[in-house]
Chains A and B, each alone.
Chain A
């Protein structure tokens, strides 16, 4: 079994701030586990996933470049960006990352905070905490999701971290004001054994919980999917690919911002066209994603992706696109049976003399939207 080469994204990651310098606006733990050498049948076969390492690396790149976050990246190939330890590469036979590898940076936040207080600083580490995890997973109880770690041996020895419990614990602490948890894992309920949870005592209560945006690839009892997003492209988690598209601008709302609300709207949308009622496609590869935490968190301005709207109109006709009676978006001239326009997530109306069509732009929309 070959290990996927890990792109050198970590080299560009900002170093931890030196004492006395300003904090990064965000801390992040990004985990992508693709190799499970003994998680297959009988504990002797592998049960690998193709997407998590690349997904995690792309997520780390986004966090570094767009969020200027300090990122600890942990994948089946290695670890980087973690306090108190050098970057490290792993071989498949090492069966890492193990539970303690994934848990260590979470415990490390507490250590960092204690250090800061000891030095007369504040326990707060950054405005925002990002936790991203991709790999095999399961749902131990409603609204809680656990990531299975590499050393697990099927069926008798399943090690996992219940990331939801960890972020819940941090939400009650002073380390962060906003917490984002994204998990591209299955949400089946087929293991009945404990998962790692924080057992640290709570610090004095903060004034309300930290704001939480929590998104899972799959609803309870459902599987998450991975597939080539482009015909000749690498396999990726569908949820992560959609999420990164959303963050890049596909989920831009009517105010021009990408927010947790607009991401939920984007990822939940099937790309409806027309005014007919449509049954959901739940249970298919475009599995319904799940959002247990929906507080409003702003990610910043988005860059609108371009869509080609195919219309049954002659070339030269003018098509007016609106988001309702008082919100014009654009007017385009038809060329080649289509118009091209940048659109964010939302509900639109395309109008021309003798033609009117409602349509939705969301994760389920193709680049070419057929309005005929």
Chain B
């Protein structure tokens, strides 16, 4: 029997060509992955029957093949996947109508909030563009949504109010655009039960473009899917095929999967930051993920896949430092100018939380953490960013996540790739106490004292009984509690 597991390397050559940002798997009859690649595979395999699987942007395609002879060449492409941002190849002949509608929205952008406006202030555009296949009012992609500057809910603005609408094909498109001060904004959605929030970054010199889609009629009240992107103000809204990667990367972060780390994919994302800094943020998260995986214990029982060249990983330090430096200039005042043209004096905006998170995650490639650590008091957009900030050990953290920030975002989840939280403030001590009470449930009989006479626990020593009853109530080091409950290490001293 010849399987991928005992293959001697002298079998037929299999070449699989897929989309450049698609994951490709070749699964052998032992049901293990015999070959893996991003974009393409070129490998010799034992002769046999295999299943090919291509995965791209959440869609997948499969095919059975028989690998015999000297060479088998297969093309396996995925043209359609669930994109939220408008991508030309996916939206086909609707592209001119979508582009025209979006450009009208951008041209009509008005200043907001009006209070405190000053001609000297830099203003950036923020556009919200939603689409939905359902037709009812309740399925309006912008329904029950509002936006406001971080911690300034008094100036909230309903997204549906004043939005323009246009039916394009079988979808209803609605949107609006505003001119606003750079900073962190909050997208606020009411699902019929609670207000759910997520952060949106508006940077000087860039349009922030929020795309939404709602179309699942069987899940009423479900929040719309969101894709947050940035663009130069003169850039078209519909992405051409070169930028399909932005949606694939969003899905990669959403699934939190160890994927999509081949050189050209990362290059595409990191280069793409010049036209969309979101690509730089997602690309750097994925690049760091690849480096972390490549350094993981090779004997770990669950091998993590990396499809990136060794030289790229070896030069990780230089790449990371350069990308972080460039993102500072792109997002904190330089706009779309080349970094060499941006003096440090132009970097007037605070460090975006996602960039702070990337610095934290890449800390070992950077200079020593600043002392004292700068405070971080605004939320990131991406869940991966929040995890990096949250889980950094105290001696590695480069920013002090403020207690107030945690208190306002404690009830959080990953909504797609984004950090999302319930609009409710909690105290650190109250949160920990509630969690300890929840975890303190004992076997009902023990808890009620109604222990059966023959119960083994009664036969145990007093110490064992005490230990048993005290198991959930033992003094626990604050760091352990913090780790278990998702409390940043910089706050565990307050537990």
Q: Which residues of A contact B (CB under 8 A)?
A: 16, 19, 82-86, 99-101, 103-105, 107-108, 110-111, 114-115, 118-119, 139-143, 154-155, 159, 165, 188-194, 196-202, 208-209, 211-212, 219-221, 223, 253-254, 261-262, 264-266, 269-270, 272, 274-280, 282, 293-296, 323-327, 345-349, 358-360
Contacts and interface: CB of A to CB of B under 8 A. Distances in A.
A178 to B, nearest CB: 11
Given A86-B452, A279-B59, A201 B468 contact: no
Given A83-B456, A107-B471, A324 B48 contact: yes
B411 A192 contact: yes
Given A141-B414, A277-B63, 18 more contacts: A83-B443, A85-B455, A100-B444, A107-B442, A192-B411, A192-B421, A194-B485, A198-B484, A199-B439, A201-B480, A212-B302, A220-B255, A221-B416, A275-B65, A324-B49, A327-B29, A347-B50, A358-B66
B60 A280 contact: yes
The 10 closest A-B pairs by CB, nearest first: A100-B441, A265-B31, A324-B48, A192-B422, A142-B256, A155-B193, A85-B445, A280-B60, A347-B49, A104-B443
Nearest to B196: A192
B87 interface: no
B251 to A, nearest CB: 11
Contact of A199 (B1, B62, B255, B472): B472
A154 B191 CA distance: 13
A110 B196 CA distance: 37
Contacts of B256: 142-143, 220
Contacts of B60: 279-280, 282
Contacts of A358: 49, 64-66
B258 to A, nearest CB: 11
Contacts of B413: 139-141, 189, 191-192
A278 B63 contact: yes
A272 B442 contact: no
B27 interface: yes
Interface stretch (B119-127, B149-157, B329-337, B458-466): B458-466
A31 to B, nearest CB: 14
Given A111-B471, A192-B412, A199-B439, A141 B444 contact: no
Contacts of A114: 460, 464, 467-468, 471
B163 to A, nearest CB: 25
Contacts of B2: 324, 326
Contacts of A190: 191, 222-223
A191 B413 CA distance: 8
Contacts of A194: 411, 431, 434-435, 438, 485
Given A107-B472, A192-B412, A115 B464 contact: yes
Q: Which of A110, A201, A347 is most buried by chain B, counting CB atoms within 10 A of its CB?
A: A347
Nearest to A106: B441
A212 B300 CA distance: 12
B464 A118 contact: yes
Contacts of A346: 29, 31
A84 B51 contact: no
Contacts of B438: 99, 159, 194, 196
Contacts of A294: 302
Nearest to A84: B455
23 contacts: A82-B443, A85-B445, A104-B441, A111-B471, A114-B468, A139-B413, A142-B256, A143-B256, A155-B192, A192-B411, A192-B421, A196-B441, A197-B485, A199-B439, A201-B477, A202-B480, A270-B62, A272-B63, A275-B65, A277-B62, A358-B65, A359-B64, A360-B64
Interface string B37-67: 0000000000111111000001111111110
A325 B61 contact: no
B274 to A, nearest CB: 30
Interface in B424-442: 431, 434-436, 438-439, 441-442
Contact of B49 (A200, A277, A278, A323): A323
A83 B472 CA distance: 18
Contacts of B443: 82-85, 104-105, 107-108, 111
A242 to B, nearest CB: 15
Interface of B: 1-3, 27, 29-32, 47-52, 58-66, 68, 76, 191-194, 196, 219, 222-223, 254-256, 301-302, 383, 411-416, 420-422, 431, 434-436, 438-439, 441-447, 451-452, 455-457, 460-461, 463-464, 467-468, 471-472, 474, 476-477, 480-481, 484-485
Given A199-B476, A346-B29, A165 B441 contact: no
A284 to B, nearest CB: 12
A61 B290 CA distance: 43
Contacts of A221: 254, 416
A359 B63 CA distance: 10
B31 A104 contact: no
A347 B416 contact: no
Given A118-B460, A192-B412, A199-B439, A278 B62 contact: yes
B301 to A, nearest CB: 5
B441 A99 contact: yes
Q: Which of B434, B460, B474 is most buried by chain A, counting CB atoms within 10 A of its CB?
A: B460
B361 to A, nearest CB: 16
A16 B452 CA distance: 15
A277 B79 CA distance: 13
A73 to B, nearest CB: 15
A329 B219 CA distance: 46
B31 A264 contact: yes
A345 B471 contact: no
A303 to B, nearest CB: 18
Contacts of B29: 254, 323-324, 327, 346-347
A221 to B, nearest CB: 7
A40 B422 CA distance: 21
B1 A327 contact: yes
Nearest to B75: A277
Given A107-B471, A199-B436, A277-B63, A84 B445 contact: yes
Contacts of A115: 456-457, 460, 464, 468
Contacts of B442: 100, 104, 107
Contact of B484 (A197, A278, A325): A197
A105 B443 CA distance: 6
Contacts of A326: 1-2, 47-48
B411 to A, nearest CB: 5
Contacts of B431: 194
Contacts of B193: 154-155
Nearest to B48: A324
B451 to A, nearest CB: 6
Contacts of A118: 460-461, 463-464
B435 A197 contact: yes
A282 B439 contact: no
A88 to B, nearest CB: 8
Contacts of B456: 16, 19, 83-84, 115
B50 A254 contact: no
Nearest to B412: A192
A111 B458 CA distance: 12
A340 B494 CA distance: 68
A293 to B, nearest CB: 7
A191 B58 CA distance: 23
A217 to B, nearest CB: 16
A193 B410 CA distance: 9
Given A272-B64, A275-B65, A349 B31 contact: no
A84 B446 contact: yes
Contacts of B302: 212, 293-295
Contact of B435 (A110, A199, A295): A199
B63 A275 contact: yes
